[in-house]
Structure 1
Amino acid sequence: MREIGSEFWLDSIPNEGTIKSPSWLNLGKDHRLLFSGRTAIDYVLRDITTKVKSVYFPSYCCSSMLQAFIDKGIQIDFYKVIFSNEGLEYIVDYDKSCDVFFSTSYFGFSSTVMDSIIKVFKSKGTIVIEDITHRLLSEQPYCNESDYKVASLRKWFAIPSGGLAVKQKGKFSRQTLKLPLSSIINTKINAMSKKAEYIKEYEKKTLIKESGKENFSEMYSRFNKSLYLDYKSIEIDGVSRSILSTIDIYTIKKKRRENASYIHKAVKKFNNIKPLISNHDFTKDCPLFFPIRARKDIRDALKNYLIANRMYCPIHWPIPNEFCLSTDTSDVYQEELSLICDQRYDLYDMERLVNTIGGFFGTI
C-alpha cells in the first residue's frame, strides 16, 4: 500500500512560460507570487513606509514566520494561543502598543479566524499583516480589514516553490526581485520527480530500493535548508507558476473537505484523542490538515506508530527557540497532531489511516 503524507511529488514537469496568476489568487488590490511564505513576509515588511519597531505575534506559530522580523531587529511580543472548549482561544491585550499586529488562523477552520481581533487593532491605526496560509482555500480566505496578507502556497500544492504577498489597498512599491537559483529549484524538482517514480513503483508492488527514498529525501532536506539561507527578494520559479495556472482548485477543495469530514466522523469512536477544532462547516471550510489533540504521554508514540505504517502525519509545530512558553501555551504544541487529508488521497486512504490509529490504541 502506498504511503500517506510527507512531501508532495510531481508526476510531470510543465513547460515554463509567462503566465498570469490564477484568478483565485487575486485577493486584494495587488499581489506578488514569491519564493516562499517567509519571502512574502519580508516583502511586505519592505513595503511598509513607516518604521516598524515591534510586532504582536501569536504564540502558536512556525519559527520560520518569525525570521523576517528577527533579521530586521524588530521586537516580537507574543499573545497567547491556548486550548478552549471549542478548540483554540486567543488571549490578546487590546491595549498593547505595537506597530504591527500579526494574525493567523489555523488548519482552514473558520472558527479559528481572528477577524474580530483584527478589526480592533485596525481601528487603532495598527498595521495588520494576516497569514492566510491555512484559510487560503476556504470560502472566506482572508479578513477585509487586513492591510497585508501572506501565505505559503507550497503547503497546499505540488509546486517546487511558492509564497503569496497581497496588499489590500494600493500597489506594492517597486522592489527588485531575483529568480531562484536554478540549482536549488532543480534539486527540488528532481526530488519531486524521483518521489513520483518511487510512489508509482511501490503502488505496482515492484521491488524497490529504500536507498532511492533516501536519495530524494536528502534532496528535499537540502532544498528546505536553502530556504533559511537565502529567502529575501526572490520570486516564484517558472515551473511552479505554470502549475498554479492549471490547478483544478474545485477538485482540490472537494477532496480535502470529503477526507476531513470522514476523519471527523471516524475519530469520534476513540477515547484517547479528539478533534482539536470542534466546530466545523465543511461546506465552507477547506482544511489544510485535520488536527487532533492527543495526551502528551501518547502523542509522539502515535505519530511514530503511524510512521512505522508509512503514514507521515506532522506536528504543528516544534516549539520555536525564540521564546519560553507558559504551560497552557506549550500544551498546544505538545498535544497537536495533524492528520493528512489532502487531495492526493481518497476515502479508502482515510479509512486506512483511521484503522491504523485504531491499531495503535489496541497496543496500549
Structure 2
Amino acid sequence: MREIGSEFMMDSFKRGKNEYCYLTDYPKRYVLSGRTGLYLIAQELQVEGIDSVSLPAYCCGSMVAPFIEAGFSVSFYERYEITNSKAILIMDYFGFLKEETALFAGQCREAGLRVIVDATQTAFSRSRSYDSADYIVVSYRKWLDCLCAAVYSQNGFITQEYTKENTVYVDIWRNAAKKKKAYLETGNGDKQEFLDLYGKANHMLGEDYIGFKASDSEIERFENADSQYIREHRRSNATQLIDGLHGKLNLLFKSLSDEDCPLHVPVVLKQEWRTELRKSLIKNSIYCPCHWPVDEKYPHQKTRFHDEEMSLICDQRYTEDDMKNEIEEILKVIS
C-alpha cells in the first residue's frame, strides 16, 4: 500500500502553463512563505498608522504570529461581523468559495477597513473577494513542492522590497523532498532521515521567516506548474471522496462549484472519534492532518473546528484508486 498524504516530495506536480500565476492585476511581490507575506502586510499597514487587525477565530497560529511579532493588537471574529479593528483578514476555507465571503469583504471595505484576503486555501480559484482586498497573501507550499508565496497590494507597496533569501531552509527542505522521492520510488534510503529533515526545515521557518524573498528557482517552479492538471485532479479526487462518504461522515462541503479547487476535503467529527480514525489511517499509511492545533504561544479564540476538523487528502499526487483506498479505510472504522 503506498503512502497518501504528508509532506510533498520532489516534483509533486506536472509542469506546464500556470494560469493562476496572477490572481489579480495588482502589483505583486514573491516572498518566502505565507507568514512572511503577512509580516510584509503588517509592515505596510504600520506605515499608514494601522496597528490592529481582526482575524477569523478559526485560523492557524502561523497567521497570528506575524501580526503579534509586528506589534499589532489582534482580535478574533467567528461570524461575518465587522469589528473595531482598523484592518481585517478574510478567507475561504479548503478551496471552497462562498458567496457570503465575497459580500463580507465588500462590506468591510465600504466600512473603511483595510481588507486582507488570505488566498492560501483558494490559490487555484478566482474569488470575487479579491476585488475588495487592499492586500492578498497566498502561500503555495500547501499545494505542491514550491517554497514561495505572493503578496498583492491594490495600491502598490510602500516598504522596500525584500532582498535576502533563506537558502539554508530551502536547501534542507529540498534535500528532504529529494530523499522522500527516492524512498517512495525505489525503496532506498531511511524514512526517518527525510522526516527529520522536514522537521528541521519547518522548525527553522517558524523561527526565521521575516524579510525573505522567494528564490528564483522556487518562483520558476510555481510559474511552470500545470494549473489545469492540478485543478482537474483535485476536483476529481475531491468529488470521489464526497460522493463516497456523503451521508456517512459530516462533510463541511457537500459539493463543488465551478470555480472551487479543493485543498482538502474537510470533515467534522467528535474529538475522540477523530483521534481513533486518524490512528487507524496512519497504520495504513494515510496521513490526514487536522486544521489547526491551537498554538498556546499566541492569542487565539478556540472554535469547535479546532478540535473536530480533519482534512482528507485529495491532491494531484493521487489516483482514483488511491481515493478508493482512502474511502475504504475510513469506512472500515466508521461503519
Q: Which residue of 1 aligns with 2:66?
A: 68
Shift of 1:47: 2.1
Corresponding residue to 1:237 among 206, 209, 215 = 215
Shift of 1:349: 0.4
Q: Secondary structure at the match of 1:338?
A: strand
Q: Which residue of 2 aligns with 1:146?
A: 133
TM-score (structure 2 length as normaliser): 0.92
1:166 and 2:142 are equivalent in the alignment: no
Give the % identical residues: 29
Instruction: State the Cα RMSD in Å.
Output: 2.0
Between the aligned partners of 2:106 and 2:11, the Cα distance in structure 1 is 43
| Structure 1 runs not aligned, ≥5 long | 13-20, 81-89, 203-207
Q: Secondary structure at the match of 2:98?
A: helix
Map Cα deviations across residues 199-249 of structure 1 (whole Å, 9 max, x no partner). Answer: 1024xxxxx56xx11000111111111112211111112321121122111
Alignment of 1:126-205 (within 5 A): 126-140=113-127, 142-159=129-146, 161-168=147-154, 170-202=155-187
Corresponding residue to 2:36 among 26, 36, 39 = 39
Range that drifts further, 213-222 or 234-243: 234-243
Between the aligned partners of 1:98 and 1:2, the Cα distance in structure 2 is 48
**Conservation of the 8 A alpha-carbon contact between 1:132 and 1:141:** no
Q: Which residue of 2 aligns with 1:277?
A: 253
Between the aligned partners of 1:283 and 1:349, the Cα distance in structure 2 is 24
Alignment of 1:1-364 (within 5 A): 1-11=1-11, 24-26=20-22, 27-48=24-45, 49-80=47-78, 90-92=79-81, 94=82, 96-111=83-98, 114-140=101-127, 142-159=129-146, 161-168=147-154, 170-202=155-187, 212-270=190-248, 273-278=249-254, 280-321=255-296, 322-323=298-299, 325=301, 330-362=303-335
Between the aligned partners of 2:157 and 2:70, the Cα distance in structure 1 is 19
**Conservation of the 8 A alpha-carbon contact between 2:163 and 2:212:** yes
Give the ranges of 4+ consecutive aligned residues of structure 1 lying more than 4 Å apart after TM superposition: none
Map Cα deviations across residues 140-162 of structure 1 (whole Å, 9 max, x no partner). Answer: 37420110000111001112x11
Q: Secondary structure at the match of 1:25?
A: coil
Shift of 1:164: 1.1
Between the aligned partners of 1:141 and 1:319, the Cα distance in structure 2 is 30
Equivalences, count: 328
- Aligned AA (1:274): N
- Aligned AA (1:186): D
Q: Secondary structure at the match of 1:257?
A: helix
**Conservation of the 8 A alpha-carbon contact between 1:9 and 1:196:** yes
Shift of 1:277: 2.2
**Conservation of the 8 A alpha-carbon contact between 1:58 and 1:79:** yes
**Conservation of the 8 A alpha-carbon contact between 1:147 and 1:167:** yes
Between the aligned partners of 1:261 and 1:143, the Cα distance in structure 2 is 26
Between the aligned partners of 2:257 and 2:132, the Cα distance in structure 1 is 24
TM-score (structure 1 length as normaliser): 0.85
Q: Secondary structure at the match of 1:40?
A: helix
Between the aligned partners of 1:113 and 1:91, the Cα distance in structure 2 is 8
Shift of 1:183: 2.3
Between the aligned partners of 2:153 and 2:289, the Cα distance in structure 1 is 31
Larger radius of gyration: 1
Shift of 1:101: 0.9
**Conservation of the 8 A alpha-carbon contact between 2:64 and 2:299:** no
Q: Which residue of 2 aligns with 1:85?
A: none
- Aligned AA (1:37): G
- Aligned AA (1:4): I
Shift of 1:354: 0.3
Shift of 1:68: 1.2
Between the aligned partners of 1:120 and 1:287, the Cα distance in structure 2 is 26
**Conservation of the 8 A alpha-carbon contact between 1:28 and 1:167:** no
Q: Secondary structure at the match of 2:172?
A: helix
Between the aligned partners of 1:304 and 1:134, the Cα distance in structure 2 is 26
- Aligned AA (1:24): Y
| Structure 2 runs not aligned, ≥5 long | none
